[in-house]
Each structure stands twice: as C-alpha cells, then as structure tokens.
Chain A
Amino acid sequence: MQMRPPLQIQSMIKAMVDVVLPALDPHNKLAQEQARLIVGMLGMMAQQMPLQYRFDCDESARLISFARELQQFARGGSETGAAVAALAEQTGNAKCGPEVSTSAPGEIERQVRELRRLTGAVVTAVFHDGEPAARVQVGKSVLDMSKAQLLRDRSWVLAQGWEPDPASVPPIEQLLASPTEPAVHR
C-alpha cells in the first residue's frame, strides 16, 4: 500500500510551501500566519505519527504504576475511599505488559484518559478529606510521576521551539519504552 500518511503529509507541505503560501495576499496577515502554522503542524504530525502508539503505551504503563502507588498511600474519609475504589477497579481492568501489544491504539488512548481522570479524582479527594500523611505521600507521588511524564510530553513538542534550553530535553525516541518492554518510570 503506497498511499500512506508520511507521503500524504510530505505532499501537503510541499503544496503549501510551493504553491499556496506564495499565492496568498501578503496583506492578509491572518491567512499568512495560519498557512505557516499549517505547514508547522503538518511537520509535527509527520514526526509524531510513527511514534504515537509507543507514546500512548508508555504513558499507560506509567499511569498504571502511578495508580498503584496512589492506592497504596491514599487514606481518608468517604470521598477518598470512593475515589480509590473507582481507581482500583480501573487499574485491575487495565491492559498492561504483553497485553498492550495486542491492544488497538484507540483502546490504549481510552485507558490513558480514564487513568488520568481517576487518578486526578483521587488527588482531589485526598486533599478534601484525606489523612495528613496521605496528602504528603500523594503529593510526592504526583510530583514524581509528573516529572517523568512531562519530560516525554515536552520532548513530544520539542520541534515547536518553546523550550528555552532545548538541549536539556532528550529526543522522544530515547524516552519511550517499546510496547512490549516495561516503561522506565523514573
């Protein structure tokens, strides 16, 4: 099958750069800016698409590990109890390890969204009616998990040029575990 997204994206970028951009009214600043953003966005998509599945699998494994930590530390009143129970159910059903490699991309994406939602709910609950010690430990878990995940998230969009010190952010390929390998959590 020859007609794949990498070729399609490359052709679209070329059309934008060679034909569309030069034809735009130079006084229409809004159109000029948006045409350039389209080229930039297509370039990012070309880089990201081959890695999207690995990225989602890596995040999913990281979130499952984080969810287990939260279940271990989160103690408190009824709100915390209910949030932890919901998270435990989701974590128990989550695809992990070798199972992930047979899961459809959409399924892993849904799993990531649910784990984000339910871990977020535990954090909120612990700071409403959690025990003081639980707040400290949950806070530390969130900060540690976020540090590892955000490095990947920043690397994911490195090409946009926002980072003041881009050399300090490793390329995304180096940060992602393959779908069949355990993710590096720290």
Chain B
Amino acid sequence: MVIDKSSPSSEWIAALRKRFPVEAEIDRVLTRKMQRRAGPGYMPLPLEVLVKGVESLLRSELQDAFEISEAKWLSGGASKLQMAFKLSWNRPGVGREKTPMVLRMEPAESIVETSRLREFQLIKAFEGVVAVPPVFWCDADGRHLPYPALIYGFAEGVAKPSAATSGVSGLGTHLPTELRARLAPQFVGDLAKIHRFDFRNKDLSAFDVPSVGTTQCAEWGVNWWERVWEEDSDEDVPLMRLCAAWLRQNMPVLDRPVIVHADYRLGNFLFTEHDSRISAWLDWELGRIGDRHQDIAWTTSRAFGHIADDGKTFLTCGLLPETEFLEQYERASDFKVDARAVHWYKVYNDYMMVALLFGTGYRIAHGGKTHQDVLVTWLMGIGNMLLEEMRSLIEEAV
C-alpha cells in the first residue's frame, strides 16, 4: 500500500501512534504535525504580523503599558524563525527598562518538530545552574502568534569568534588554540552540571521520566525517531532499516535519569569575547529526561569536530581530544562513562540526525513548509557522512 505522506489519513496517523509509543508531549507535537501536514506551506510573514502577535501575548501577560521597537529578523539555527526586538516595560524587580529580546517561533513545519513548552520549562529550570538566556513567555499552542513560540531575553555573546569562518548552524567552526583552552573546561564542566542537576522539584510537567533499571528510555527514543522516519521519509535507505533493528536488539538499561540537553555542541553556546566566558546555552528543544550517554555520544560526534593542526587528532566539538573530554567529564560529574552505552547512543544519534536531515528535511522542503527551505536542503548533505559513521559503528559492534 502506497501512503501519501504529504496528506496522511487519520487512520495512518493513529496506526503510527499505536506502533511507536513515545512521551505524551512528544506524541502531541508529532500528531499535530501530521494533522497539519496537508495544510498550506509557510507563507512569508511581515515583521509587523509577528510584532502584533507578540503584543497580543504580552497583553495577556502584563498589567502595565509596554512598547515593542527595533524588530528585525535574526539568522542562526536551522529550525525556527527568530525575531529580535526591544521591549520597553515595567520589568518585575527591576522597574522600567528597555530589554533586548528574541521571539523564537516555529514555521509551518520544522526540521525538528518539538514542543515550545518543553523548551520553556527546561530553560526556566536551568536558570542559575548553567548560563541560559532569561526566558519570559511561551505561546505553546500559537494562540497569539501564527505558530507556537517563546520569548526569551537577548543573551550577550557570540557563537563563534567574530573573525572566524564557519558553515551554517555553527558547524565547521575552527577556534584559535588559546580560545579552545579557555572554553574547553567550561564546556565540560557545564555538561557535568546539567547531568548532576536535581530536576525532581522543578516544573517539568511536559516531560515523562523513564524507569530506572529498564530499557524504557532507549525504547522511547527509538520509537520517537523511527516514527519520524516513517512519517517523513521519501527515498528509503536500507541501512536505516538495519539500524532500527540493531538499536532495538541492543538497547541499554538506564542507570540514572538525568536532564539530557540533546544538542550540546560548539555552535549552541554563546561566549563573551573579551573574557572567553560561556554566557548562554541555547537550543534546548530536543532536551529530555534520559540517559547521560546520549549527550556524551552526541558531543563526540564526528559532525561537530575537526582534525587538529597536527593532522591526526580529532577534536571533540573542535575543543579538545575525545579522551580528554571523557576523563574531564568523569571527574567533573562523578559519573562513570559506559563505553557500550556511548556506542549505542552514537548509533542512536546518527539515526536521529539522518531521520531529521533526509526524512524531515526532504518532507518540509518538498512541501515548502519553512522560511529557509534552501538551508534545510543544504543541510541534507551532512546525512551521508552520518550514515557512514552509523555504518562503521554497527560494523564495529557486530
């Protein structure tokens, strides 16, 4: 039976939901995506429309008068629309001020379909733990804006040195040696803080907690991305079929649930150039309560690093050799790193990335669903390298 994935039937959507059980909030956003799939593509939005949407949201949140000014588009990131603006308002505990802010809003369909509520809750939870931008308001269901969105404070800093060159999304950035030496300890230390964070007394109602001593965490993850592959993919990849089977046969048992950032890498933090301090961790949208090895595997991916000047040492995220990264992480977190679990999550992460790049990337660009289809199409080129990494990792394991 040929499925029309660009106009999926309610029966097919229901069958996928049953076949691939995931966290409740993940199920909600994936189901919403499929129910809207046949709808219109992304239409260019004038800044004025977004400003009006923000005004509507703020009228529902603020008692005092406010004014929005200096709205402009931002680039950066492959998944969401971003508008910078300034808000003149009576800030609680501060008084009247003009605050630089960013609206982060979904397009009609995103290369990664996630929950703004989860992102909002995670950033809120980490205020004062690691550097995060102040997050103010969330329009989780798009009641005020054309699509779901959140508003956070404009964080000071840069994602790469002002003079450096890099590819899109901060990939391919090469940092000077001196800057690497200053950022690397913070980079490792912050990951340890995130994983040691006690999340149980925080408002993380949009997250489910997987059971310790079981493979439920891994299974939710595989279900999530295999569901996305089924929902979005066009041209099949036999290696993806083998990978899904391999992942299910080798799922690791969870020893301790932690907050997983899920996109912890160079390009996703800002630092201030005058003192080389990490000033904000960004892009929490894929975060979950899960297994620390997911982050460790992600951060050490080939896609996010490069070969050092000696021509042979691979630098994790372009910052430090992998062995040093792992040793420093174990010291900082007091958690052991299980090489088998890292190996499994490397395969898992590659599977997720290929599902997003080749599956979702194709589907949304084909449907004209985003404000940057050309970027989404460009990024598909990474998928082949990740498939080769996946292939090598499975071959090593068997």
Query: Which A residues lie at the B interface, using CB under 8 A?
Result: 27-34, 37-38, 40-41, 66, 113, 116-117, 119-121, 123-124, 127, 135-136, 138-139, 142-143, 145-147, 150-151, 153-154, 156-157, 160-165
Residue in A37, A124, A135 whose CB lies within 8 Å of B378: A37
Secondary structure dominating the interface of B: helix
A-B pairs with the 7 shortest C-beta distances? Answer: A127-B245, A29-B75, A157-B381, A120-B236, A123-B241, A153-B384, A160-B381
Supply 6 A–B pairs (Cβ within 8 Å), ascending by A.
Answer: A30-B371, A31-B73, A37-B375, A116-B235, A124-B245, A162-B381
Given contacts A146-B387, A150-B387, contact A123 B238 (CB under 8 A): yes
Inter-chain contacts of B307 with A (CB < 8 A) = 164-165
Are A113 and B235 in contact, CB atoms less than 8 angstroms apart? yes
1/0 contact string of B170-201 vs chain A (CB within 8 Å): 01100000000000000000000000000000
Are B398 and A139 in contact, CB atoms less than 8 angstroms apart? yes
Inter-chain contacts of B73 with A (CB < 8 A) = 28-31
| Most B Cβ at <10 Å: residue of A116, A136, A150, A151 | A150
Query: In chain B, residues 299-329, which have Cβ atoms closer than 8 Å to a Cβ of chain A?
Result: 302-303, 305-307, 314
Inter-chain contacts of B168 with A (CB < 8 A) = 33, 37
Inter-chain contacts of B305 with A (CB < 8 A) = 164
Are B242 and A116 in contact, CB atoms less than 8 angstroms apart? no
Inter-chain contacts of B384 with A (CB < 8 A) = 150, 153-154, 156-157
Residue in A40, A113, A146, A160 whose CB lies within 8 Å of B238: A146
Report how far A161 CA is from B385 CA in the complex, Å: 11
Residue in B235, B302, B387 whose CB lies within 8 Å of A164: B302
**Complex: chain B residue closest to A142, CB-CB:** B242
Are A146 and B302 in contact, CB atoms less than 8 angstroms apart? no
**Complex: chain B residue closest to A136, CB-CB:** B398
Query: In the complex, what's the smallest C-beta–C-beta distance from A39 to chain B, in angstroms?
Result: 11
Are A150 and B391 in contact, CB atoms less than 8 angstroms apart? yes
Inter-chain contacts of B239 with A (CB < 8 A) = 142-143, 146, 150
1/0 contact string of B60-87 vs chain A (CB within 8 Å): 0000000000001111100000000000
Query: In the complex, what's the smallest C-beta–C-beta distance from B256 to chain A, in angstroms?
Result: 30
Report how far A40 CA is from B375 CA in the complex, Å: 11
| Most A Cβ at <10 Å: residue of B168, B241, B249 | B241
**Complex: chain B residue closest to A114, CB-CB:** B236
Are B241 and A120 in contact, CB atoms less than 8 angstroms apart? yes
A-B CB contacts (within 8 Å), total count: 116
Inter-chain contacts of A160 with B (CB < 8 A) = 167, 378, 381
Are A164 and B381 in contact, CB atoms less than 8 angstroms apart? no
Residue in A127, A150, A154, A162 whose CB lies within 8 Å of B303: A162
Q: Does B49 contact A (CB under 8 A)?
A: no
Q: Does B6 contact A (CB under 8 A)?
A: no
**Complex: chain B residue closest to A118, CB-CB:** B236
**Complex: chain B residue closest to A160, CB-CB:** B381
Q: Does B372 contact A (CB under 8 A)?
A: yes
Given contacts A29-B76, A156-B384, A157-B381, contact A34 B372 (CB under 8 A): yes
1/0 contact string of B231-263 vs chain A (CB within 8 Å): 000011111111011100100000000000000
| Most A Cβ at <10 Å: residue of B236, B374, B398 | B236
Are B172 and A161 in contact, CB atoms less than 8 angstroms apart? yes
**Complex: chain A residue closest to B248, CB-CB:** A127
Inter-chain contacts of B235 with A (CB < 8 A) = 113, 116
Residue in A30, A119, A143 whose CB lies within 8 Å of B372: A30
Are A117 and B381 in contact, CB atoms less than 8 angstroms apart? no
Residue in B74, B242, B372, B382 whose CB lies within 8 Å of A162: B382
Are B391 and A162 in contact, CB atoms less than 8 angstroms apart? no
Query: In the complex, what's the smallest C-beta–C-beta distance from B364 to chain A, in angstroms?
Result: 15
Query: In the complex, what's the smallest C-beta–C-beta distance from B240 to chain A, in angstroms?
Result: 7
Inter-chain contacts of B272 with A (CB < 8 A) = none
